[in-house]
Amino acid sequence: MKKSKPVKRGYGTYSWMVLAVVALVAGYYLITRSTSKGTSSFRPELPPSATLGAAPAFTLPDLNGKPVSLTDLKGHVVVLDFWATWCPPCKREIPDFITLQSAYGSQGLQIVGIALDEQDKVQAFARQNGMNYPVLFGSDEVSRRYGGIDGIPTTFVIDRNGKIVNRFEGFRPKEVFEEEIKKLL
């Protein structure tokens, strides 16, 4: 009769256990941080001090190469969304922005997408998804003017007077933007 050899557990098994514990602790921290003091995980975020007050002016090319300036939108409530085609949360927000533009455009809303991506990919994506609002090609200069775009999507809500009233980093559901828009229209 053959004796079976004892099973050796390598560091791989323990590494996975440690990784799982770290993930659970990180998840707990994120959940408790975002829901503490009765706030939801979709709470508004205050803009960095570099973006308080008037929205920084810019002129950027649209999908056809035509220059579009923020000053062209004076008098509108502007939702300015920094995004990219490779960003899943960005792609998840775009159908909501299309819906909001359709619903509130006649009342003075203007959604503007600032793509931080390759031109050909953005043009194809905008066509395929029926984006009904201006899509502009971003620049490092504009990103810096808006306090540095560290993650996307990063979205600014700008009132009719050109003042930034809110900044959101990361995905937000349509209702969050709709609430902001309704207050300003």
> Rounded distance, CA 176 to CA 181, Å?
9
> Rounded distance, CA 86 to CA 161, Å?
33
Contact between 82 and 158 (Cβ < 8 Å): no
CA distances from 154 to 16, 136, 169 (A): 33, 15, 4
What mean pLDDT comes out for the span 101-105? 98
Q: Domains of the chain by range and CATH?
A: 49-184 (3.40.30.10)
pLDDT at residue 161 tops 90: yes
pLDDT at residue 32 tops 70: no
pLDDT (0 to 100) of residue 53: 87
Kindly report the pTM of this predicted structure: 0.74
Contact between 85 and 91 (Cβ < 8 Å): yes
Q: How many CB atoms lie within 10 A of CB 70?
A: 21
CA distances from 168 to 45, 61, 165 (A): 6, 24, 11
- Among residues of the chain, what percentage have pLDDT more than 70? 72
pLDDT at residue 62 tops 80: yes
Active site residue 87: no
pLDDT, tens only, 66-85: 999 999 999 999 999 999 99
Lowest mean pLDDT of 23-32, 46-55, 67-76, 117-126, name the range: 23-32
Q: What are phi and psi of 121, to 5 degrees?
A: -65, -40
pLDDT at residue 120 tops 80: yes
Predicted confidence band of residue 40 (pLDDT cuts 50, 70, 90): very low
- The single residue of 90, 142, 158, 164 carrying the catalytic annotation is 90
pLDDT at residue 41 tops 90: no
